[in-house]
Every structure is written in structure tokens, then in C-alpha cells.
Amino acid sequence: MATLTPNSAPGCTVMVRFAPGVGVKVRKNMEMFFNHPNLVDVINGVGTIHYARWILYDNDTKLLYSVVFDGDFDKYWADFLPYFQKYRVPPVFTLAEDWPADGLTNLESFTKFFRDHQVDSLGEWGSFGGATMKEIRKALRVNEAFQKVLDDPAAQKALQNPALRPLLEEASA
């Protein structure tokens, strides 16, 4: 696989099959998933997810799940399982044709399912040059705090310090 940028967020693509007619239940579970009151807690609890996409296709008999996350494949799935259990998030993958019976209670089975259904990418590119979600969230918080300082009239004298020039130039770009 070719990587065009430093990449701490490799992610994965998973493809699974559903029996004909199961697509209605998959769509219902996805709707429940996205409307789940603890969904943000689940995603933030894992803490490494940059982006995720679920695509149901081929007459609702196949699902492509593409996710970009920081770090190791096995750790990502190991981090996710407790949140599915704790919050009873309606899992879509349990409807797949070859989902293991113990998939939500046995970490090895859970991880093996996703490893077995992972499809390798031909190449990857990332906009953030290897920045982790922790670093990105921190940068956003720092930016928000800095914007408040810029808007505060009491900070104007301090902002005249020449040492702050590179920061102020970047903020105005």
C-alpha cells in the first residue's frame, strides 16, 4: 500500500454480506445507531476516530464500512467492543451472514470477524500529516481559546508583543 503522507491514522475498510431481505433491519439498526443518545459518548470514548462511513449497496445485501482511526487495527476494535456492550448500541454487523455467535462477548471473535472482512487499500492520503485525533481536538480547543483572546479588548496590549507576531500572522491568514 502506498502512503502519500505521514499516517498515524490508517483505518480500515470492511465489507460484509447480508442475506436477502435483511437490508430493512440493517437500515433500521443504522437509524437507531445514529439516533442513539450515547453515540457521541461511544465515538469520543474510543477517541481515535477521524471519520467513518457505512454504505449499504447491491440491493441492500452488502455493506462497506470505511473508517479512519489512529493507531493499531486490533486496538481500535478492542476499544470499541466495551462501548457496544455498555450502551447497547444496535450493532449492524451482527446481521452479517457469518457473524460469530459470540461476537459481542468474545474479543477474539469480534476482532477476527473484522480482520477477516477487511479489504486492503491500494493507497492512502491524509490531510493532517499524521496528526492524531487527540492533537486535532487540542488544536481546535487552542484555536477557540485564542480567538477569545483576540476578541478581548483587555488583551490588546499583550498582543502587541513582537514574540506573538508569527501567531497573529497565522491567525489572520
Query: Which pLDDT tens digit goes with each residue over 7-17?
Result: 556 778 999 99
User: Partners of 14 in the beta sheet?
Assistant: 65, 118
Note the pLDDT of residue 26: 94
- Domain 2-124 belongs to what architecture? 2-Layer Sandwich (3.30)
Higher pLDDT, 46 or 97: 97
What is the distance of C-alpha 22 from the center of its chain?
Answer: 25
* Nearest Cα residue to 34 out of 53, 14, 49, 47: 53
- Is the pLDDT at 57 greater than 60? The verdict is yes
Buried b (16+ CB within 10 A) or exposed e, 99-133: bbeebbeeeeebbebbeebeeeeeeeebebeebbb
The torsion defined by the Cα of 40, 71, 84 and 101, in degrees rounded to 10, comes to 160
Please state the domain extents for the chain. Answer: 2-124, 133-172
pLDDT category of residue 91 using cuts at 50, 70 and 90: confident
Q: Does the reported pTM lie above 0.85?
A: no
Query: Which pLDDT tens digit goes with each residue over 99-136?
Result: 999 998 899 999 999 999 999 888 777 787 778 888 99
- Is the pLDDT at 90 greater than 70? The verdict is no
Summarize the confidence of residues 36-58 as an average pLDDT. 86
Helix-helix angle 107-116:73-87, to 10 degrees: 120
Cell 490588546 belongs to which residue?
A: 156
